[in-house]
Amino acid sequence: MKRVSQLTALALICGLASLSSSAADMPHSLTLAQLQAQNGAVIDTRISAFYNGWPQTLSGTSGHEPAALNLSARWLGAMSDEQLSGWAKQHRLTPDVPVALYGNDDDNQTVKTRLVKAGFTHVSILSDALQQADRLQRLAHFEQLVYPQWIHRLQQDKPVTAAPAGDWKVIEAGWGAPKLYLLSHIPGAGYIDTNEVESEPLWNKVSDEKLKAMLAKHGIRHDTTGILYGRDVYAAARVAQIMLYAGVKDVRILDGGWKAWSDASLPVERGTPENVTPAPDFGAPIPGQPQLMVDMEQARGMLHRQDASLVSIRSWPEFIGETSGYSYIKPKGDIAGARWGHAGSDATHMEDFHNPDGTMRSADDIADMWKAWNILPEQHVAFYCGTGWRASEAFMYARAMGWKHVAVYDGGWYEWSSHPQNPVSTGARGPESTR
């Protein structure tokens, strides 16, 4: 037994020495060409705003390295080992795949430490990262998803990339009275109650006349840049999408919403909104972009087509009819022939579209998720959910991704299910059911 123990120990020592030698043999840095020759993976450790295309300085490069994955060092505190393993599996990364990181030194080290802990044995630095502007990739319209420091610089009258062309307003959107807003909000932000843009019985968009009056009340013209945020991103997206329909040319949302601002430890203020000077005229006909909304008949006409997709942005339990998702919507199921575009765990979450910090997942991840259900960028795509909020968030992401023919079916499941003649499906089903 003693002899076996010694042999075992010797083998263990040799194994450790081999592993140590292997790690020592790994280059500290690799160029992109060297990494690609090894079929390795590139990981961008910066925040998603920089990954998406915002330059880190006014004259800096814009975008990320080809096919790079985004694993921000700032997410890791919110990611368990199991979640990190799931992220790696989702992106088909195994511990033996060579990985090269880029970002700042501290972020790279943070991510490297976590990856090594997860078993990755070939982690190095990308030595030529962000040095060749012509090879970088970016979100088609990254400027439509702003980040906290951009707003802060704008408010300080400092130069920013993709600055508004004229007048601009920061606005918080939320349902009902501004209770949380009164306690703490972005300095100078106004407040729009979502009841001003949608109404019962189906919580559809208000009439164009009421919409015109609402915009005037908040001092918004067609050439005002609206910068919206919410305690929930989809509240801001709901108002943003309706403003675009009305004809406001430049509408942006704060990626990650109020949480992103709070996490950035930027200034806040308390109290009621400042008095707003009403706009005497919108300056253009309303609606300026009617194609951004489809009605029930148009939605029905998009079913079972290869050049169009009617897309359910509802949780899987809602899509298969286990729950309606809402206390005030009784029928269960979903539109027969609609394609599932994912959402979250229930009617109040959108995890499928979010990074761990609540910002938008990478465009590649979202496009892959949609492609599995034959939802494609060249199609005419209309998103819907129960009453429009989650659909609007998906719409804003698709728009930022550069999808050209996107809309919201405002009536959604609430309207569709209130007409018994409309076809409904229940039970688990796959993409083949939508052909």
Q: Which residues are catalytic?
A: 385
C-alpha span between 137 and 385 (Å, rounded): 31
Whether the Cβ atoms of residue 97 and residue 62 lie closer than 8 Å to each other: no
Q: What is the 3-state secondary structure (H, E, C) of 375-396?
A: CCCCCEEEEECCCCHHHHHHHH
Q: Is the backbone of residue 252 left (phi > 0), alpha (psi -120 to 50) or beta?
A: beta
Q: How far is CA 95 from the centre of its chain?
A: 28
- Residue 408: phi and psi, rounded to 5, are -120, 130
Helix H or strand E segment including 228: strand 225-230
Supply the DSSP symbol for 353.
G
Residue with tokens 């601009």: 168
Which residues does 274 contact at the CB level (< 8 Å), separation at least 6?
188, 190
Residues belonging to the chain:
435
> In terms of DSSP bridges, do strands 204-205 and 225-230 run parallel, antiparallel, or are they unpaired?
unpaired
Closest of 314, 338, 321 to residue 394, by C-alpha = 314
C-alpha span between 382 and 391 (Å, rounded): 9
Which residues does 363 contact at the CB level (< 8 Å), separation at least 6?
52, 139, 140, 397, 400, 401
Residue type, 87: W
Order the strands of the 225-230 sheet from edge to edge.
145-146, 251-254, 225-230, 168-174, 190-193
